[in-house]
Chain A
């Protein structure tokens, strides 16, 4: 027990400046109503996703063909779709699908982009040129178009959509990480480490990486909503999730034909997309506001 306490205490000492930075950020987040609202929405989404099996009134893929296209009522709060499935339950399960997509995409992208960016920034020369030109080429496509092309090439499926979106997003993070690395590279403590003979890999990982991470994370929070939106767009077009997965974009797509007479079928899932993306954007904005020193001034 004593050992554990000592370990914690020495870890706290070692990272004291990061801890006080974090404290200050938390303090400012508390003061920003934007961030709080965004955080609430996001936490609500996470809660819904995790507890879906317990809070969803019906099985999301259970069809009930005598009760197709029922309008919203006490039995089915948001109505049923064209196969008689309860829309509310499908939306609830869809939350998990959306969050899963977002997490997997970011988990592929952030390490990939940051690593490539740091490599480009640190080594410079032709490594830098090549990585940056490739990034430029990928950034020359509008995101959805490229995702569609990759998705179509790989075949329509949710997994391929995630891969496709990840491929469209890494250049942004690579650029960011490279920029940070370039400015950090010149700082004296890196020179000191080199003089001490620390291997290049260690310098990259232990010193440069942590300093890049804050800008990267801020940028990632701004992108989280976009991932969900693009994935929904892909599914809407038929390139992403396939039936019977309860993915919001797919639900809007299959419900599209019923827009006029059974408006609830495509409308509610679409609203879920809006709400989720809105929540993440709110949170991302809030975090960006507090971490940008410029905007901290002046009330």
Chain B
């Protein structure tokens, strides 16, 4: 049984906006094991990116982490002081790549220098240059010397994402968070970048937290999947379990919405995403749920284990073992 690398316990995050308090993350639990490719899926606005930011303790104003623990290799990141996180965790043990790679690079600094920033301070200038070129080659960038000397706005989306990957894998992190890394890229480039990521991760034996709203990407690359809805983790399981045996009504709805050969019509989930300033009481999904009962409107469902490695937060499965 591979050891647990990251464990998020009961994370609660609120955003204090002028419209009111947005209860963005409502008590999320998540476990990622060593060497595991974990997919986090959900609609836009369900809190996936905020959860990722929380892992690095980089939740931006006006967001605030109210409660919870984020245990990385046993130590709680949220109770570390800023210097420790900056020196040991960010850019070293845990790194992140994001959705818009060109925007994520500083427009007035050359690409090579930006990668060099992520490297150890102890290397000499010549060593740094060599390493940067080597990193660029690893991510299959042609003419690495030329690219290193250019500026980010001269790169295409796919190239920029490779530069980001090179930058973020340079320190051989234990966990790479990938927040919608291919969403803004052309479909043909998407597959390339994903494959590259998978290869590099296997090579470095790192774990990945892949955040996406695209279920097909998850099905292809992930080992385990977590489904989020409106700030709650509603279902977690192995990728086969989630795709073939979804338990939570929301997951079922998601699976049904994917067009396939033997289902001609597009079936959506009725209703729309709730306003998190005034979220629905009890289970946040109940207004859109075909199986909702009275208890769903009053109490928040506990997480229940339905099979090994597969948990779900829904009153439908009450009576089985608690997870």
Contacts and interface: CB of A to CB of B under 8 A. Distances in A.
A and B touch in the complex (CB under 8 A): yes
A28 B62 CA distance: 16
Contact of B62 (A27, A31, A299): A299
A293 interface: no
A299 B60 CA distance: 11
B61 A31 contact: no
Interface in A266-299: 296, 298-299
B60 A298 contact: yes
Contacts, number: 10
Interface residues of B, number: 5
Interface string B125-167: 0000000000000000000000000000000000000000000
Interface string A10-46: 0000000000000000011001000000000000000
B224 to A, nearest CB: 34
Contacts of B18: 27-28, 31, 296
Nearest to A32: B18
Interface in A212-265: none
Nearest to B16: A299
Main secondary structure of the interface of A (DSSP, over half): helix
A180 B241 CA distance: 54
Interface string B195-210: 0000000000000000
Question: Quick one: which of A28, A296, A299 has the most chain B CB within 10 A?
Answer: A299
Contacts of A298: 60-62
Contacts of A27: 18
Contacts of B61: 298-299
B253 to A, nearest CB: 32
Contacts of B60: 298
B144 to A, nearest CB: 36
B60 to A, nearest CB: 7
Given A28-B18, A298-B62, A299-B62, 4 more contacts: A27-B18, A296-B18, A298-B60, A298-B61
In the complex, the 8 A-B pairs of residues with the closest C-beta atoms, listed nearest first: A298-B61, A299-B62, A299-B61, A31-B18, A298-B62, A28-B18, A298-B60, A299-B16
10 contacts: A27-B18, A28-B18, A31-B18, A296-B18, A298-B60, A298-B61, A298-B62, A299-B16, A299-B61, A299-B62
